[in-house]
Structure 1
Amino acid sequence: MDKILFNRMEFWGYHGVFPEENKLGQRFYVDLELSCDLSYAGRSDTLNDTVNYAHVYTTTKQVVEDERYALIEAIAERIATRLLTEHARIVEVLVRVVKPDPPIPGHYQSVAVEIKRERT
């Protein structure tokens, strides 16, 4: 299966279980791996035969910046659901949401979740 990759998209969101996270907000990074058949687009060189990158970015941005969740697991699930629903060409999506500098005891650069969902 062919892949379209989005690497380290950066957004500002108000997600978390602590009140400070919901008030102050923080950076989130999102990586996507979209599985789809790109052979039509490769032959036609036409945007209508592939997944519109701008639309994928906008959808991801809306989920992270316009919605609020306690868990990054929920952010990842919502992104996957929307992308599979809105783009018929996407067969499977892998979503990684990274939360840098989480407010938990210890020394962490980041925490992340990665989910893979496929069209049913």
Structure 2
Amino acid sequence: MKLKGKVVLEGLEFHAYHGIYPEERSSGNKFEVDISVDTIFDEAAFHDELSGTINYEDIYAIVKAEMEKPSKLLESVAHTIAEKILDSFTAAMKAEITISKFNPPIGGVCRKAKVSVDLQRNGNP
């Protein structure tokens, strides 16, 4: 039996160096990442076997590696994370990535700026 489901990681926190301003790229900032991966759980997952699902520790490793690479735009980081998740897990059908930057330098008070990317595997609606 196979069953559609999601593997979700919420509130991953990183200190990273993303942004267009030199101070963002030198001092860094606090970021939060939320991940939701649509998948098909295999029979093994229902028998308590990790092989029947997507290991969220592996998802975290992908996110961590990409957050460690400085980038100007969060859109680029989110898209790369989504692509790598779909490339790494054949059972992943869709990856939704939201990255939040705390206290972005916009000239006013803003708790977080967020960017979301929703990437689907080819052939899926």
For the aligned pair, the TM-score class normalised by the smaller chain equals: over 0.9
Residue 104 of structure 1: CA displacement? 1.0
Counterpart of 2:95?
93
Q: How many residues align?
A: 119
Aligned match for 1:47, one of 46, 50, 63: 50
State, as a whole percentage, how many aligned pairs show the same letter. 29
Counterpart of 1:36?
39
Which segments of 5 or more consecutive residues in structure 1 lack a partner in the other structure? none
Residue 84 of structure 1: CA displacement? 0.5
Asked if the contact 1:40/1:50 (under 8 Å) is kept, the reply is no
Give the structure-2-normalised TM-score: 0.90
Residue 105 of structure 2 aligns to a residue whose secondary structure is coil
Residue 37 of structure 1 aligns to a residue whose secondary structure is strand
Give the structure-1-normalised TM-score: 0.94
Q: Which runs of 4+ in 1 moved over 4 A?
A: none
Q: How does 1:1-120 map to 2 (within 5 A)?
A: 1-65=4-68, 67-120=69-122
Cα deviation digits, residues 22-56 of structure 1 (max 9, x gap): 00011110001110012524422111111111111
Amino acid at match of 2:58: H
Once residues 78 and 43 of structure 2 are traced to their aligned partners in structure 1, the CA distance between those partners, rounded to angstroms, is 29
Which segments of 5 or more consecutive residues in structure 2 lack a partner in the other structure? none
